[in-house]
Structure formats: C-alpha cells, structure tokens
Amino acid sequence: MCYNIGQKEECPVEENKTVDNIGNLVISEDVIAAIALNAAKDVEGVSSFAARTPDVHSILRFGEDAIKSVRVLPSDNGVKIYIHVNITPGTKIPKVASEIQKNVKNAVQSMTGKMVSKVNVSIAGIDIKPEGEK
C-alpha cells in the first residue's frame, strides 16, 4: 500500500489507485488476492487452494505470479479475480463455485471499495484423503 499526502509520488500499482483531495491510496494486488483467499476458504466444500498450471506465456508475462492460486487483473470497471481451488469429495461443484464467487466479490468490494467485475473459479481437483484418515 502506498500513501501519498501533499507531494507527488509514484506508486507501483496504478490500476488499484484511489485519489481524493488528501492524497493517493494504492491497494496491492497481493492484498486483494489475500482477501479473495480468505473469503474462498470460508466456503463449505473448499479443501485447499491449487497453484494454477503455468504455461510458457504466463511464466514469461507474469513470472513468479504464474503459479499462484489467485490472480488479480485490472479491468475497465474494477478488477477481475481468477481463483483455483480443490474441493472435498461429494461436493456439488456449481453450488461451491457460486458461493466462492459471491463471497470473494462481497469481501473484496467491502474491504477495498474496488468494484469486482468478474470472479472466475477453476476447480483444479478433488482432495481425497488416504484410507483411514479422518
């Protein structure tokens, strides 16, 4: 986060910048991603988060971010969030995905004031516990 009061200062993440008569507030994409992860983990049926499978283009373009579970991208009317999760066996996938979308959107918008234009959920796998483990 970058605060600017009184003087002109360059902040590294311009797309998540809010300007008022006092100064600038920049919310890092990592902060938005952390909010999204916290909101998604509260959904029943989500067992863990999956690192998305990086492709060559993503690695070259996003570097280390290519393997994160959440990616936040600026859009014309807010931010787009991509989240990759694993679910528990027997989970109704459409219901869980819809709950993740709702929770993530509400959490990010209420905590940051940023509009969320889209939450894309990728079900990466099902976490199956080894036999005998509860």
Q: What is the pLDDT of residue 23?
A: 76
59 found inside a domain: yes
Q: What is the CATH number of the domain that holds 91?
A: 3.30.70.1350
Q: Does the residue 69 lie in any domain?
A: yes
Q: How far is CA 92 from CA 36, 100, 111, 128, in A?
A: 21, 12, 28, 15
Least confident of 2-11, 78-87, 114-123: 2-11
* pLDDT tens digits, 10-29: 444 445 555 556 778 788 88
Domain that holds residue 103: 28-126
Inside any domain, residue 10: no
Going by the DSSP 8-state scheme, the letter that residue 44 receives in this structure is T
Say if residue 8's pLDDT is above 80: no
Q: Is residue 86 part of a domain?
A: yes
- For the stretch 77-113, pLDDT in tens is 899 999 999 999 999 999 999 999 999 999 999 999 9
Residue 2 maps to a domain: no
pTM, entire model: 0.74
* Helices 29-41, 93-112: inter-axial angle, 10-degree rounding: 140
Q: Which two tokens stand for residue 44?
A: 């029943």
- Residue ranges of E strands in 20-115: 23-26, 46-49, 70-75, 78-87
| pLDDT 10s digits, 38-85 | 999 999 999 988 886 655 555 555 555 555 789 999 988 899 999 999
Domains contained in the chain, number: 1
CA 25, distance to chain mean position in Å, is 19
Residue entry with tokens 């509009």: 115
Neighbours of 84 (CB within 10 A): 20
Residue 131 placed within a domain? no
Considering the domain boundaries, does residue 19 fall inside one?
no
Domain assignment present for 107? yes
